[in-house]
């Protein structure tokens, strides 16, 4: 009982709503089902690829164990950041709402999706990404790193993007890991933008 009262209300709210919300989204959204299917397929393809390039069974089992551990920890990390962004969204929403409500002049932006002439969300989102993410120094730096690795290690790109089975040397494997890290960092920047765009959309409704 003491544990419940000591736990943050936002954490409890997130925990109680998370499972039902995710299940409801899954039941009513074909896109997330297709995404889950694709992720499963990618995982199975990756395991099949490892079996082709690693002939020693003991080494294969060690690599597969590392891969499963990575998947498990990655899932925990996603849940952790999901909770953090949920808290941040609630807190920032309250703060911004108070700031906007206390201001006599509430200037609305025209760059929201509701004001977008072409009713194409994907197109609007790409415009926002170009405007707020793609042109930032950090994003350009990550793109430049990705391009240099791609040019230096063409085999890595064939494995990473085309899923072509082939043996990689140690240097290429390290390059592959670095590409995954760059992809992850760029994806985090885009998720941060999506959060901000959602808040802006509500405030300018």
Percent with pLDDT over 90 in the chain: 1
pLDDT, tens digit, for every residue of 117-145?
Answer: 666 777 888 888 888 787 788 888 998 99
Cα separation, 108 vs 106, in Å, equals: 6
Residue 141 and residue 84: Cα distance in Å, rounded?
Answer: 26
DSSP string, 58-126: HHHHHHHHHHHHHHHHHHHHHHHHHHHHHHHHHHHHHHHHHHHHH-S--PPPS-SGGG-SS--HHHHHH
Task: Work out the mean pLDDT of the chain and round it to a whole number.
Answer: 77
Q: Quick one: pLDDT at residue 70?
A: 82
pTM (two decimals): 0.44
Confidence band for 62, pLDDT divided at 50, 70 and 90 = confident
pLDDT tens digits, one per residue of 75-132: 778 777 776 777 777 777 777 666 655 554 444 555 676 666 666 777 888 888 888 7
End-to-end CA separation in angstroms for the chain: 41
50 touches 173 (CB < 8 A): no
Is the confidence at residue 1, as pLDDT, over 50? no
How many other CB atoms are found less than 10 A from the CB of residue 77? 11
Residue 185: is its pLDDT beyond 70? yes
- Confidence (pLDDT) at 87: 73
> For position 183, what pLDDT does the model report?
86
Phi first, then psi, for residue 7 (nearest 5°) are -80, 140
* pLDDT at 4 (0 to 100): 46
């Amino acid at each position: 009982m003491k544990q419940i009262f000591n736990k943050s209300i936002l954490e409890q709210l997130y925990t109680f709503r998370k499972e039902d919300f995710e299940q409801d989204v899954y039941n009513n959204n074909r896109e997330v089902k297709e995404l889950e299917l694709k992720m499963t397929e990618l995982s199975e393809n990756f395991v099949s690829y490892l079996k082709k390039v690693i002939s020693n069974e003991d080494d294969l089992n060690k690599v597969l164990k590392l891969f499963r551990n990575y998947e498990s920890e990655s899932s925990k990390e996603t849940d952790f950041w999901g909770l953090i962004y949920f808290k941040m969204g609630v807190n920032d929403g309250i703060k911004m709402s108070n700031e906007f409500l206390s201001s006599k002049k509430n200037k609305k932006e025209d760059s929201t999706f509701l004001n977008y002439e072409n009713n194409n969300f994907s197109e609007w989102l790409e415009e926002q990404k170009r405007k707020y993410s793609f042109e930032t120094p950090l994003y350009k730096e990550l793109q430049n790193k990705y391009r240099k690795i791609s040019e230096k290690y063409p085999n890595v790109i064939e494995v990473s993007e085309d899923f072509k089975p082939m043996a990689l040397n140690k240097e290429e494997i390290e390059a592959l890991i670095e590409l995954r890290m760059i992809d992850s960092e760029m994806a985090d920047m885009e998720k941060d933008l999506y959060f901000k765009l959602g808040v802006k959309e509500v405030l300018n409704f």
